[in-house]
Amino acid sequence: QEQAAIVSIPDSILLNTRTIPKSFKEKYSGLNSVQCLTLYLARNCPYSQGIKLITTEPDSFFGPYLDSLPKGFPDVPLTWALKAVLGDLDGVFCDDDKAIFLLEDRHEVYDLNQGQNRPEDFSRFMSQSTAKACDKVTLRFIKDWKALAACFRGDSLIITVAELLWAWLVGKSCVWYDLGCENHCDNITLAPVIDMANHTIQSDVTLIVTPQTLTMFSSHPRGLFKSPKSQQLISSSLKSSETSSSKGEICFKKDQEIRFSYGPHGNSTLLAEYGFVVLDETNPWDFIDITDSIEILFEKIGEDGNIKREMLQNLNYWGEYTVQCNPVNPSHRVLVALRLLHTPLKREAQWLDHAGGNTDDMGSQTECLVSKSLKEIFEDIEEQLVQTSKSFDYKSTSDSNLISKFAFDCLSKIVKDEMNAVRSFLNDHM
């Protein structure tokens, strides 16, 4: 029924920096929550393709939970990247500085901003938005691996890259949980049972943190809940008009799968972070990243472009330029940037007025130039997507060995959906 508790997980069996052994936390106190959990999970990884190499005894308390986790994440692009660069991950150890350097060097030398394919070349199956999303994940992994490298060297820990990757990707299923950490990003936990729930685009299912539990409700419950640490309210009571239906209405039937939303994520983000996309319906959160295209436009106008870039940076409007796909709609950031691009510096005050929200646009002439720039950007993206779609007809044996059919379906879905959005925009601006 509505507002019913589906499952409650006691604080004591949540896996986070508060419930792992105190001696472990103290020994590695310099790590953030993601790094600490990654190291803990890697040391207790129940899966290994060869001889178990970790020299410490596994944690018996969380052992059954760890045994229930997936053995691997073959459809996450980060897995492909590491295998393509390092080969057999069970044969590479985390204290190998050369392995870190090789991964980092390959990433930097073949920067997608330069329009080149990586040596592993699977990026040819990706739209630019997907490639950038995967880049961000790879960079986060490299950063955390480098932070953990000192632990591996100084503690005689023998952990393979396969185990590190498994641990890091398991940690990505963490949910927010108030541990009282000053850094908001450190307030995370793994939650047995709850983290097995699959993603859906929209769901009333809600996770509520109480002082003793993490509880999954069928819909947002009425009532007040306090943070376990700060005792501040973390969710307020809802009026009846704000709930999807009246209390007592059935929202799940017998044998129906219970899913909840991981967040407002487009398919490029879902693939990069979790290794899947929404295949069977339109994802309302899909977007196309046009950051590189817009930044190039500013580079082309020389010194004026540098000045305008600084103006955008000062107001936090530089970068992160996206266009929503369903329906096709450039973000406010895109419009603010392009309006400045086409505004003479002598009209700086007028643009600042617009950026501050006091005016809707910069006049009809500027709006026409903005529309023209967007059309040219979309024409370039259409050409890139056409080339990307052709790549699926020329998959090699090594491609198929690295990337599963399901993953290829995910990649193809993203390219097709972005193509539909681009062509919809171009048809409307002929």
Question: Does residue 194 fall inside a structural domain?
Answer: no
Question: Does residue 225 fall inside a structural domain?
Answer: no
The pLDDT profile of the chain, 430 residues, written as one tens digit per residue, is 667 788 888 988 999 999 998 888 888 888 999 999 999 999 888 875 544 444 445 567 888 888 889 999 999 999 999 998 898 999 999 988 889 988 888 765 444 334 444 445 788 999 999 999 999 999 999 999 999 988 887 676 788 999 999 999 999 989 888 888 888 899 999 998 888 888 888 888 888 887 688 888 887 776 555 555 555 545 433 333 333 344 456 577 788 888 888 889 999 999 999 999 999 889 999 999 999 999 999 999 999 999 999 999 999 999 999 999 999 999 999 999 999 999 999 999 999 999 999 988 899 999 999 999 999 999 999 999 999 999 999 888 878 888 999 999 999 999 999 999 999 999 988 7
Long-range contacts, stretch 55-64, CB < 8 angstroms, 24+ apart = 55/156, 55/157, 55/158, 56/157, 59/20, 59/21, 62/15
Q: CA 219 to CA 200: how far, in whole Å?
A: 14
Q: What are the DSSP E strand ranges found in 225-325?
A: 225-226, 233-235, 287-289, 322-325
Q: Based on the number of CB atoms within 10 Å of its own CB, is 6 exposed (0-12), middle (13-18) or buried (19 or more)?
A: middle
Total residue count of the chain as it appears in this document: 430
* Whether 294 and 416 share a structural domain: yes
Structure token pair of residue 210: 């109480």
Whole-model pTM: value is 0.86
* Whether 31 and 158 share a structural domain: yes
Q: Which of 154, 173, 192 is the last residue of a domain?
A: 173
* Whether 39 and 169 share a structural domain: yes
Q: Which amino acid is at 213?
A: T
Q: State the helix-helix crossing angle for 332-341 and 291-299, rounded to 10 degrees.
A: 10
* Whether 150 and 295 share a structural domain: no
Q: Which of 173, 200, 222 is the last residue of a domain?
A: 173
Q: Which residue has the tokens 């370039």?
A: 380
Torsion of CA 64, 70, 71, 72, to 10 degrees: -150
* Whether 169 and 24 share a structural domain: yes
Sheet holding 206-209, edge to edge: 5-10, 213-217, 206-209
Q: CA 222 to CA 240: how far, in whole Å?
A: 9
Cβ atoms of 421 and 325 within 8 Å: the answer is yes
Question: Does residue 265 fall inside a structural domain?
Answer: no
Q: Can you give the residue range of the structural domain that contains 31?
A: 17-173
Q: How many domains does the chain have?
A: 2
**Per-residue pLDDT reduced to its tens digit, 139-155:** 999 999 999 988 887 67
